[in-house]
Amino acid sequence: MASISINNKLITFAQQQLVLGYTSTERERINGSLIQLQKVLNDKLYNEAKEVKVFGSYTRNTILPRNYDSNSDIDVLVIFNTVNGKKTPGTYRKNIVDALAKSYPLSVVKKDFPTVKLELNHIMFDVVPCYTEEFWSSKTYYIPNANDSWRTTVPNDLNDELSRKNQAYGNNIVRNVIRLCKHWNSSTGRVFDSYEMEKWIIQRHFYSGDNLYDKFLSVMNDLAGSRAGVRQALDYIQKYKGDYWNQPNELKQLEWLQKLLPGLK
């Protein structure tokens, strides 16, 4: 059990340093670039694109500022019109690359199978080709799979579940745990796929009554043993854990946490 002081440090870190604030300069720049990107895609692709839709961690407010995750990106769906027939994922990717390369000649635009990446100096966009099929009131989304064919997906499938659980457990604790884990994951070279880890945390049961420190350590401990082959990559957790896990010495608790979460003060 952590002291109140240590727990408060974690809360402050998760809710201030690890948040891309709605009024922050970084978010304002991203929003400006996002509006421009949507306009470029709609203009350059003409009638090919039905909709340009943002999804992912940016819409859940679990994206980290770039100084805590240099690989932070914004996920964007380009939903193509298939009235005149469906094309291959590779064809749609080429169309996206051509559209972006003309409008961003000084930026990095590349096909990063199975998506397209647009790298600006302050953010990266991960642009995903997509088409939909509608039947009555239902809509099914398709995006490229690893074999360059199509698979179904549900954009922003985690958003409602995260909001519901975050409200049920209170104190923004689920979102805070996600931010802490994503920062740790980024600082260690992304042992886990960021989306899959976030999904795993959201779908996990949280016992009520625990503070942020206890929940974070519980999730980290479960992550360490969650998949074969990952244990070795997470051995350093145990190395630093040592006497600090339930160490009543506040300085040692903080020292261990700082190994996991660089930048924590």
What is the identity of the amino acid at 183?
H
CATH 1.10.1740.10 assigned to 25-153: no
User: How far is Cα 237 from Cα 222, in angstroms, rounded to an integer?
Assistant: 12
The pLDDT mean for the chain works out to 87
pTM, two decimal places: 0.89
> Which one is predicted more confidently, 3 or 14?
14
pLDDT at 139 > cutoff 70: yes
Q: What percent of the chain has pLDDT over 90?
A: 57
What are the structural domain ranges in the chain? Answer: 4-19+159-260, 25-153
pLDDT at 247 > cutoff 60: no
User: How far is Cα 265 from Cα 9, in angstroms, rounded to an integer?
Assistant: 7
pLDDT confidence tier of residue 238, bands split at 50, 70 and 90: low
pLDDT digits (tens, 9 = 90+) for 177-188: 999 999 999 988
pLDDT digits (tens, 9 = 90+) for 198-234: 999 998 877 766 689 888 888 887 877 665 445 554 5
pLDDT digits (tens, 9 = 90+) for 53-96: 999 999 999 999 999 999 899 999 999 999 889 999 999 999 99
Q: What is the pLDDT at residue 234?
A: 57
pLDDT digits (tens, 9 = 90+) for 248-258: 677 777 887 88
Q: What is the pLDDT at residue 209?
A: 63
pLDDT confidence tier of residue 259, bands split at 50, 70 and 90: confident
Q: What is the pLDDT at residue 229?
A: 46
